[in-house]
């Protein structure tokens, strides 16, 4: 089958050395420990030892045994040759002279390191459990799910199947997850109110004399910052809230799946939604209306905040600023009087201190009052 969600380059790179491994990758996947060396040492010739090591490390890195074990970047061969003390790495070219040896070595490596064939019933069940669970809980595209599937198989040492086989399983898992999502959401809508699906479908109709469907009208946020627009925003909240979608029991559905369904529906025109088959149509309309319910409230609150800032708080601030400016002359006069009174007060206190006389409070207060009553 064609791998529709993979490019030709991605499909060709599957299960191969798409590029030369990096230094960290060489150290991780192509390092030979004592267990590796003991198994390799059972080979009699250099080309068999080097070829065996190449197959051993290739399956670690790629996830399968290559049809041609020598279809690897040459630095990989040299890296293994240095570890094995093989001076002439080109001797590995003799490794493919006998095909049966390649197969025998692959089986020996599989058994020694616990690799499982993709057709294994138990590991096939585990993989399908992972794949369907991932498809249900993550709103990701087929390419991302495909990559996660490859990663799972490599981590659990399950030999990779052909690219078309894996792509078909990924596509089937996504289809099952989508059908489950649509059925669950639509079922919740019907259980909450048998009339709700029909009411939601009715929003796709365009009223007479209007250019837009009811759904399109409810999608439109307020565009002006006026009291009238705010009142309309509140009406919009009431209209969407009238569907009472909060009563739907959807806790078993991952929130990101609902969000992805809502985004898809928001990006679709009313005719396309109307032509969708059930239960997908009801599910999409439910998701988009739940999204609009929260969005309408947020947009009304945002508009209220803008109106408060521009129409009320700014107006009050300007009025306060104007009143403050009008009092500046009076404040200036009062500050001059205060400065003169303070000068007299300090002069009298210094005089009392210099003459070491007792402070006459009444006389001091009289002097300060005289200065205060004097014209500026």
Over residues 175-188, the pLDDT tens digits come to 999 999 999 999 99
Residue 369 pLDDT exceeds 80: no
Most confident region among 116-120, 240-244, 344-348 by mean pLDDT: 116-120
Measured CA to CA, the distance from residue 52 to residue 29 in angstroms comes to: 14
Q: Which residue has the higher pLDDT, 294 or 46?
A: 46
For 6-22, how does the pLDDT look when each residue is reduced to its tens digit (9 = 90+)? 888 888 999 999 899 99
Whether the predicted pLDDT of 312 surpasses 60 = no
pTM of the predicted protein model: 0.75
376, burial (CB in 10 Å: exposed 0-12, middle 13-18, buried 19+): exposed
* Interatomic CA distance for residues 184 and 205, integer angstroms: 25
Give the model's confidence band at 211: pLDDT under 50 very low, under 70 low, under 90 confident, else very high. Answer: confident
Distance separating alpha carbons of residues 337 and 343, to the nearest angstrom: 10
CB-count exposure of residue 33 (10 Å: 0-12, 13-18, 19+): exposed
Q: What is the pLDDT of residue 94?
A: 96
* DSSP labels, 215-240: HHHHHPPP-S-SHHHHHHHHHHHHHH
| Of 61 and 373, the one with more pLDDT | 61
pLDDT value of residue 336: 66
Give yes or no for residue 118 having a pLDDT over 60: yes
CB 368 within 8 A of CB 345: yes
Mean pLDDT (the chain, rounded): 87
- Report the pLDDT value the prediction gives residue 8, as an integer from 0 to 100: 87
Question: Residue 173, Cβ neighbours under 10 Å: how many?
Answer: 21
Instruction: Give me the numbers of helices (H) and strands (E) for the chain, helices first please.
Output: 18, 0
Report the pLDDT value the prediction gives residue 192, as an integer from 0 to 100: 93
């Amino acid at each position: 089958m064609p791998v529709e969600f993979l490019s030709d380059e991605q499909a060709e790179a599957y299960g191969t050395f798409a590029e030369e491994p990096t230094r960290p990758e060489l150290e991780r996947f192509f390092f030979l420990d004592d267990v590796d060396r003991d198994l390799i040492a059972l080979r009699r010739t250099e080309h068999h030892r080097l070829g065996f090591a190449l197959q051993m490390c290739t399956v670690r890195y790629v996830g399968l045994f290559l049809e041609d074990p020598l279809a690897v970047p040459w630095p990989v061969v040299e890296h293994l040759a240095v570890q094995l003390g093989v001076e002439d790495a080109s001797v590995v070219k003799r490794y493919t002279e006998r095909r049966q040896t390649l197969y025998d070595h692959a089986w020996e490596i599989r058994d020694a390191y616990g690799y499982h064939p993709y057709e294994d019933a138990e590991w096939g069940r585990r993989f399908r459990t992972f794949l369907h669970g991932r498809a249900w809980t993550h709103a990701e595209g087929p390419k991302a799910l495909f990559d996660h599937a490859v990663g799972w198989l490599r981590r659990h040492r399950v030999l990779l199947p052909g690219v078309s086989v894996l792509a078909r399983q990924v596509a089937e898992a996504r289809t099952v997850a989508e059908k489950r999502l649509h059925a669950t959401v639509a079922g919740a809508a019907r259980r909450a109110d048998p009339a709700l699906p029909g009411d939601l479908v009715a929003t796709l109709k365009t009223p007479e004399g209007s250019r837009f469907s009811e759904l399109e009208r409810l999608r439109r946020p307020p565009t002006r910052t006026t009291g009238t627009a705010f009142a309309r925003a509140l009406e919009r909240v009431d209209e969407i809230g009238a569907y009472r979608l909060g009563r739907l029991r959807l806790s078993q559905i991952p929130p990101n799946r609902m969000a992805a369904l809502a985004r898809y529906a928001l990006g679709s025109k009313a005719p396309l939604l109307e032509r969708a088959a059930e239960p997908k149509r009801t599910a999409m309309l439910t998701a988009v209306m739940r999204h609009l319910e929260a969005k309408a409230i947020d947009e009304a609150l945002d508009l209220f905040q803008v109106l408060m800032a521009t129409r009320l708080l700014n107006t009050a601030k300007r009025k306060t600023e104007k009143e403050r400016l009008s009092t500046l002359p009076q404040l200036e006069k009062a500050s001059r009087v205060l400065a003169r009174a303070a000068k007299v007060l300090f002069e009298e206190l210094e005089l009392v201190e210099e003459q070491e006389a007792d402070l006459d409070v009444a006389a001091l207060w009289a002097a300060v009052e005289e200065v205060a009553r004097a014209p500026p």
